[in-house]
């Protein structure tokens, strides 16, 4: 997965296109991520007690990583990260400014 938890991403398709968000969770098996406030789905919550009203809450739904681009924390550009192998460790780097991410 090129996208990690706590990354900042730019949404490049769908109704949230152009928005920036923080990655809350990743699902590597499905190549999907959950991003803060992105792809919100309305969910009806049943009342907890009698007499209370049910609520509609908005919850983010996972989106495919092909719909997002990583934002470099240093240069602030939306990038496709490169990789640098160092001591058998794979580090993500920004191809634009060379920053390790
Ligand atoms: Zn950069």
More confident residue, 37 or 54: 37
Q: Cα separation of 98 and 74, whole Å?
A: 9
Reported as a pLDDT band with limits 50, 70 and 90, residue 94 is: very high
Q: Where are the beta strands (DSSP E) in the chain?
A: 8-11, 20-27, 32-35, 40-45, 55-60, 63-64, 68-71, 78-79, 82-86, 89-93
CA–centroid distance for 83 within its chain: 19
Q: Ligand 1 center to residue 83 CA distance, Å?
A: 13
Q: Ligand 1 center to residue 66 CA distance, Å?
A: 20
Contact 76, 54 (CB under 8 A): no
Chain segment 41-70, per-residue pLDDT in tens: 998 888 888 888 888 999 999 999 999 999
């Amino acid at each position: 997965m090129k996208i990690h938890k706590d990354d900042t991403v730019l949404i490049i398709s769908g109704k949230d296109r152009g928005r920036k968000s923080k990655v809350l969770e990743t699902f590597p098996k499905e190549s999907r991520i959950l991003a803060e406030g992105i792809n919100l789905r309305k969910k009806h919550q049943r009342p907890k007690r009698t007499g209370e009203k049910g609520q509609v809450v908005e919850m983010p739904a996972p989106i495919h990583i092909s719909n997002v681009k990583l934002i470099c924390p240093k240069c602030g550009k939306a990038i496709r990260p490169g990789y640098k192998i160092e001591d058998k460790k794979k580090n993500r780097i920004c191809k634009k400014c060379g920053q390790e991410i």
